Chains A and B, each alone.
Chain A
Amino acid sequence: MTYFIQLLISGLVVGSIYALSALGFVLIYKSSRVLNIAHGQIIASGAFIAYALTVYAGVPLIISFFLSMVITFFLSMAVERVFLRRLIGEPIISVIMVTIGLMSIIDGIIYLTPFGSTNMSFPKFFPPEPLNILGATVSWTQVVGVVLTAIIIAALSWFFKNSTLGISMRAVSDDQLASMSIGISVPKVFGLAWALAGLTAAAAGGIIGNITGLNFDTLHAFGIIVFPVVILGGLDSIGGAVVAGVIMGLIQQFAAGYLDGNWGLQGTAEVLPYIILLILLLFKPHGLFGTHEIERV
């Protein structure tokens, strides 16, 4: 039982980080139909910025965490303005090529810095002794990470449901022409979507970095798991990304915990998400919560 609870807890921790990682990808796709291949690189940038602020600039960890979110917010907004704004209306493949280029550029920059080759870890901030929940253990860093993730997701949901700006962003993803007819600036909405994606990506990066340490490959891996998560959730659904992230985290932890080592199985955590994804897509091609066209006669 303790083993089950332990797996459940680590599944929820990993899953909530997947959710936060996937959120930004969905925000960009939802508003502008751009598949941002470089999303994992933005997550990594956020993590490294937080580290640089904490260790090199001596800013307290919590402050540098939020500061990195703000910085990545603006960096991401600038990326949209410089690289993607001019591509509005161009074929989808050109846009994808640009985000692939963006991925290479950010990778290149990171490899030039110490972050590309060395493993680093954030200074310990929370008490080292773990919390005990029904016999299972969970570190303070993990608890704080999950709580922060929940707060960020709740704040964003509130923003999209209740603020006029949030509603106008959803309006743009629904019908661009109609949005323009009431004066909504579509490019501004795209910029804001990128900025919010940067903000959530940096938060995810900061949390991952604090839990697992800073390793470029690990951060890459989080960038890649985003794809099955968003497809499972349904590309354009924010709630879907959150639910799918948590499901994916649980599947992986339970697979690693119960399947690996039995019946000669190994590395099921890496494969199982994709198997489940393939099976689900046979029955629900829009993912769990993807938007269906409303056809009213």
Chain B
Amino acid sequence: MRRRHTLSQTQIRRRNMSNIGQDSAARLLEVNNIEVVYNDIVQVLRGVSIGVTEGKIVSLLGTNGAGKTTTLRAISGLLKPENGHIREGYIKFDGNDITNVLGTKVVTLGAVMVPEGRRVFKHLTIEENIRAGSTTRKDGSKKIKADFDAMYQLFPRLTEIGNKMAGYCSGGEQQMIAIARAMMAAPKMLMLDEPSLGLAPLLVKEIFENIKHINKEMGTTILVVEQNAKIALAISDYAYIMESGKIVLEGHSKELQNNPDVKEFYMGITKGGNRKSFKEVKSYKRRKRWM
């Protein structure tokens, strides 16, 4: 039985039209029509294509279980430990084919991921966490030290709280540690898996300001995965929306912010401008699925 998607055929057509939105020549990352299966049977991604242009912030949005984390795992070479692999399609990063290559290789090529749930090294100190990020670097201790200091400038809070064990830090602090740790690998492209997860709104804002800063001031290309479409669309240049293992909509973030369906489904805003309750949106979604 074919599964249906929330967003309609017209939107998929619209998606193809807006494909011209990103200049394909300067693409740092190109994910082309990939299919990912776990345990050789469970197909999770069913032909996903996304592109990330150098210097931009791109967001990948979707509800729980859409396949966002799987997409990031596929790019970062981290499917294998989960017993998954890319069955079809290819991924190119910075001119290199990275389809089904090892995670270590992807990091040395310059694509680094901040995992979902931050995953700091709980029993290591904050400094050790950040230093661990530089394991793969070969460009000399001077540059590494400079980047280390830059991380503390980016996150002054990490200095304020002292060099304690990362496991005892708050969620927001752990997110900062995880980002600093990934940045120490000197990535060309930083990938973040739901950085807003479980954080208070004020902290979410702060973290996204940091992400913007990393992009604008440090020149790192960003691919951010989010369920919080509102904040992600606010900082990104381009966005993809994923459902049940497929991209159902894509476009410039500004356009998507004004798209009534996106507003409805992912930002919980009705046409009247009121915020809809999660429950209402959910039942509406369920209804629409059968139409």
Contact A180 B132 (CB under 8 A): no
B7 interface contact, C-beta 8 A: no
A59 interface contact, C-beta 8 A: no
A144 interface contact, C-beta 8 A: no
Using A164-B131, A167-B131 as known contacts, say yes or no to A183 and B103 having CB atoms under 8 A apart: yes
Residues in A whose Cβ lies below 8 Å from that of B132: 164, 167-168, 171, 179, 182, 184
Residues in B whose Cβ lies below 8 Å from that of A270: none
Task: Tell me the bound Cα distance from A177 to B104 in angstroms.
Answer: 12
Task: Tell me the bound Cα distance from A167 to B126 in angstroms.
Answer: 12
B273 interface contact, C-beta 8 A: no
B134 interface contact, C-beta 8 A: yes
**Interface size counted on chain B using CB atoms at 8 A:** 36
Task: Tell me the bound Cα distance from A182 to B191 in angstroms.
Answer: 11
Task: Tell me the bound Cα distance from A291 to B123 in angstroms.
Answer: 8
Question: What string of 1s and 0s marks CB contacts (under 8 Å) between B165-176 and chain A?
Answer: 101110000000
- Candidate in B76, B102, B121 with the most chain A CB atoms within 10 angstroms: B121
Contact A185 B104 (CB under 8 A): yes
Contact B135 A183 (CB under 8 A): yes
A296 interface contact, C-beta 8 A: yes
Query: Which residue of B81, B115, B131, B185 is within 8 Å of A183 (Cβ)?
Result: B185
Contact A294 B124 (CB under 8 A): no
B56 interface contact, C-beta 8 A: no
Residues in A whose Cβ lies below 8 Å from that of B106: 183
B114 interface contact, C-beta 8 A: yes
**Interface size counted on chain A using CB atoms at 8 A:** 22
Task: Tell me the bound Cα distance from A248 to B181 in angstroms.
Answer: 40
- Candidate in A171, A182, A184, A291 with the most chain B CB atoms within 10 angstroms: A182
Contact A174 B104 (CB under 8 A): no
Residue of A nearest to B128 (CB): A167
B182 interface contact, C-beta 8 A: yes
Task: Tell me the bound Cα distance from A176 to B119 in angstroms.
Answer: 10
Q: Which residues of A contact B (CB under 8 A)?
A: 89, 164-165, 167-168, 170-171, 174-185, 291, 294, 296
List 28 A–B pairs whose Cβ atoms lie within 8 Å, in order of A's numbering.
Answer: A164-B134, A165-B135, A167-B128, A168-B135, A170-B123, A170-B124, A171-B128, A171-B135, A174-B121, A174-B123, A177-B78, A179-B121, A180-B103, A181-B76, A181-B114, A182-B132, A182-B181, A182-B182, A182-B185, A183-B104, A183-B107, A183-B112, A183-B135, A184-B104, A291-B123, A294-B122, A294-B123, A296-B169
